[in-house]
Amino acid sequence: MSSWNPWHGCRRISAGCANCYVYGRDGKYGKDSSQVVKNADFDLPLKLKKDKTYKLTTEEGIVYTCLTSDFFIEEADEWREECWQMIKRRFDLHFFIITKRIHRFSECIPQDWGEGYLNVTICCTVENEEAARFRLPIYKAANIKQKIIVCEPLLGKIDLSPYLDNTISQVTVGGESGPQARICDYSWVLDIRRQCTDACVPFHFHQTGARLKKDGKIYIIPRKYQHSQAEKAGIDIKNTKKAE
């Protein structure tokens, strides 16, 4: 998996941030995650190797962008335009941006954004009903070529149905990881899957999280099995025409 983190650090903004992995990891080294700082690899997409080819390449073409912050955080306003220019120049790559700050989208896009850059997917995270009701109307109205709704960490039942149509490429669902992980109820996962089925939207169960509740019983799932257990559930919907 290829990633590009132009800056590091973030501020908690909603319930999904309570056990933020950036804070968790930095905390181990006594680092203050609330300070947003530009990284040395800020211009990674344009960096060249000795043979003059790009350093940043990826077999699948996808670059996960700004995983140790939020791309739309206020502190990065001065730096973002340069990032858009780099993204535009690297049209051979596809940039995935996952955000909890979609409300800042319209003030953060470049002048030539138009209907959206073809090589950018913006994923909107909604962890509970409150976040969905605030963020998804904004997300739905935004000019973005590729949209993915990310319900991770899933903290409760969510009604996504008003926002699901063929403008959404996928809904991804997952539980929370880490020692403080909150419970993810499998019935919430299945409920979102049903909504996706009804709306013919692809669905992906990304990971179980560390504490999965199923049929009233709580399962503690070690980190190394959280992805494979979700895959084992076999509930992904790829071909929406054949969804059941």
**Binding positions for ligand SF4, rule: CB under 6 A:** 10, 12-13, 16-17, 20, 22, 69-70, 100
- Residue (71 or 203) nearer to ligand SF4, CB: 71
Give the span between the Cα atoms of 17 and 9, in whole angstroms: 13
In the complex, minimum distance from the CB of residue 53 to ligand SF4, in angstroms, rounded to a whole number: 31
In the complex, minimum distance from the CB of residue 193 to ligand SF4, in angstroms, rounded to a whole number: 24
- Residue (90 or 182) nearer to ligand SF4, CB: 182
- Residue (22 or 102) nearer to ligand SF4, CB: 22
Whether the bond into 179 is cis, omega within 30 of 0: no
- Residue (12 or 227) nearer to ligand SF4, CB: 12
CA 78 distance to own-chain centroid: 23
In the complex, minimum distance from the CB of residue 128 to ligand SF4, in angstroms, rounded to a whole number: 14
Tokens representing 240 are: 């929406």
In the complex, minimum distance from the CB of residue 188 to ligand SF4, in angstroms, rounded to a whole number: 19
In the complex, minimum distance from the CB of residue 9 to ligand SF4, in angstroms, rounded to a whole number: 8
DSSP per-residue string spanning 138-153: HHHHS--SEEEEEE-S
Whole-number Cα distances in Å, 199 to 25, 149, 166, 205, 224: 38, 14, 8, 17, 32
SS3 4: strand
SS3 57: coil
Quick one: which of 218, 227, 161 has its CA closest to 185? 218
Q: First and final CA of the chain: distance in angstroms? A: 31
- Residue (11 or 88) nearer to ligand SF4, CB: 11
In the complex, minimum distance from the CB of residue 26 to ligand SF4, in angstroms, rounded to a whole number: 10
- Residue (45 or 153) nearer to ligand SF4, CB: 153
CB atoms within 10 A of CB 220: 8
